[in-house]
Structure 1
Amino acid sequence: MTDHASADSTCLAPASGSDERVGGAGADGRPLHAAALRFYWGPMDCGKSTMALQMNHNHARQGRRGLVTTRIDRSLGPRVTTRIGLAHEAVEVTDELDLRALVRGRRAEGVRVDYLICDEASFYQVEHVEQLAELVDDDDVDVYAFGLATDFRSRMFPAARRLFELADSVARIQVEVLCWCGREGLLNARVVNRRVAREGAQVVVGDTAETAQVRYQVLCRRHHRAGDLGPAASD
């Protein structure tokens, strides 16, 4: 199912010079220099991408215009997809993409960009996070970033670490994810051949389905350390 109620990944600005900032307010009516960089994080299955699309929908309903970006979505395409069926077209953040040039180029073409929704932000390059901070400070663009904090080895992603350091606010998404034992799920385990992997590339696309060759499973700290995937894994 596609989230048709959400805004397009780009939205044209109204005509007749309405993009001009008058009286200390931006084109969206919000005060200048009030933009912020916000980072929402959590383990897999806590609804990060769903919240990202909801955030985009809420801002679009109030007449704001934004861009949705992602990197290495589970669909392997330039889309934000969710496990509950919502989806939205997005700009793929490649290593070469300069987010500042993206936003400023759209504005030069008469396209309003009031905010960015940045899904899978932990997979961005550190340079992208620096660019996001610059867009907030110099261009009054609100940035809402969503992503994991740690990788399959329980070590922080470089981009996530930089977001923790630079963001105006950091919030853990309050949707409880459980380990198979019933404890709170904190860590993302990479499962290869029914075993918890301890080595490998930091980013490998996988799924949560039991039949996937490479899959991920949320575990509590105790069972992540023990490599214990639960009774179902031994069946």
Structure 2
Amino acid sequence: MAELVFFSGTMDSGKSTLALQMDHNHRARGRAGLIYTKMDRAGSDVLSSRLGLATPAREVTDDLDFWDAVVEHATTGHRIDYLICDEVQFYTPAQVEQLAKLVDEMGVDVFSFGITADFRTQLFPGSRRMIELADRVQVLQVEALCWCGRRATHNARVVDGAMVVEGEQVVVGDTVAGSATLVEYEVLCRRHFMRRMNSAAARTAAASPDVLPFDLDVCPVPQQ
């Protein structure tokens, strides 16, 4: 039976790498699929991972109807067994419902990948709808790490080196937004997210003669 599966994790947890691997595995077994993504770090119409792997993909726009697109693809003589959908947090809730319909009505497997919560710890609309509808939600086992060495659980937005918790929900990272304003993202453990202490703030504090080592509030790494 076809499934709607949501693979979730923070940044740096290997979501896009897994998406590329799953596409390879299914194609190697003779299955035919389509790859979709939205606002990939490498640009439009491409699915890429931080390991340097990449493959062409179909760009998801807000007005894309997955049901219409896949039906059109199938009626022109192309077999479609599965979809790889990356960056699903940026999809609209209606698009997630269309993916669920493809699973139920056409028997197409949908493997989706995305971040659950934004830099304010609020659920992305697309991710929320995916959690509500998915047959399975699978948290990736590759753990991203905070600068302190503990498991990272939160995605932080960093503007000019300082962590922020206000602003638009979607802003592409590693870009200049305006005049010399660098927007980046960093994964943090909950403690350092709540304390607004990203790696740059920790380095600045460590270099200050007025800050004692324990003031950095470095989390001890659990022993294996």
TM range (shorter): 0.7 to 0.9
Task: Give secondary structure in 1 for the equivalent of 2:158.
Answer: strand
Code of the aligned partner of 1:51 = L
Aligned identity (percent) is 51
Query: Is residue 221 from structure 1 mapped to residue 190 from structure 2 by the alignment?
Result: yes
Distance in 2 between residues matched to 1:221 and 1:212, nearest whole Å: 26
Give the alignment of 1:89-100 within 5 angstroms.
89-100=56-67
Question: Between Structure 1 and Structure 2, which shows a larger proportion of helix residues?
Answer: 2
Q: Give TM-score, length-normalised by structure 1.
A: 0.82
Distance in 1 between residues matched to 2:14 and 2:120, nearest whole Å: 21
CA contact (8 A) 2:46 2:57 kept: yes
Deviation of the 1:207 alpha carbon? 3.3
Q: Give TM-score, length-normalised by structure 2.
A: 0.86
Give the alignment of 1:38-187 within 5 angstroms.
38-187=5-154
CA contact (8 A) 2:15 2:140 kept: yes
Code of the aligned partner of 1:50 = T
Distance in 2 between residues matched to 1:189 and 1:139, nearest whole Å: 38
Gaps spanning 5+ residues in structure 2: where?
A: 208-224
Q: Runs in 1 of length 4+ with deviation above 2 angstroms?
A: 230-235
Distance in 1 between residues matched to 2:204 and 2:50, nearest whole Å: 22
2:168 is matched with which residue: 185, 201, 205?
201
Let me know the Cα RMSD of the aligned residues: 1.5
CA contact (8 A) 2:160 2:181 kept: no
Deviation of the 1:228 alpha carbon? 0.2
CA contact (8 A) 2:86 2:113 kept: yes
Code of the aligned partner of 2:32 = R
Code of the aligned partner of 2:57 = A
Deviation of the 1:232 alpha carbon? 3.0
Task: Give secondary structure in 2 for the equivalent of 1:122.
Answer: helix
Deviation of the 1:233 alpha carbon? 5.2
Deviation of the 1:191 alpha carbon? 0.1
Distance 1:233 1:125, change over 3 A: farther
Deviation of the 1:194 alpha carbon? 1.4
Distance in 1 between residues matched to 2:122 and 2:75, nearest whole Å: 40
Distance in 1 between residues matched to 2:43 and 2:168, nearest whole Å: 17
Q: Where does residue 232 of structure 1 map in the other structure?
A: 203
Gaps spanning 5+ residues in structure 1: where?
A: 1-33
